[in-house]
Amino acid sequence: MYKMLAAIAFALFFSACSNSEAEAEISRLKQENVTLQAEIKTLQGTLDSIKAKSDSVYKSLSDMDMNP
């Protein structure tokens, strides 16, 4: 969220610059956004995997009647 707000702020700040500089900055920020979205998807997959393993362990403990 912070990076998106920073990207908007930079876009507004650089709007006073020449068009080529602003377009280059916008392009860079768009690429950074794509990279961050891919990283979020990867992290979400990891989190989902960990949650599934945790749920499995909890179920196993529950089946043995040893849950906390």
Structure tokens belonging to residue 59? 């179920």
Q: Which residues contact 14 (CB under 8 A, 6 or more apart)?
A: 21, 22, 25, 26
- Residue 38's pLDDT is 95
| Structural contact between residues 7 and 32, judged by C-beta atoms closer than 8 angstroms | yes
Question: Where in the chain are the domains?
Answer: 2-63
How far lies 47's CA from each of 8, 16, 40, 54, in Å? 29, 42, 10, 10
Q: What is the pTM of this model?
A: 0.57
Cα–Cα distance between 65 and 33 in angstroms, integer? 47
Residue 47 DSSP SS3:
helix
Could you report the per-residue pLDDT of 8-33, keeping only the tens digit for each? Answer: 777 767 665 568 888 899 999 999 99
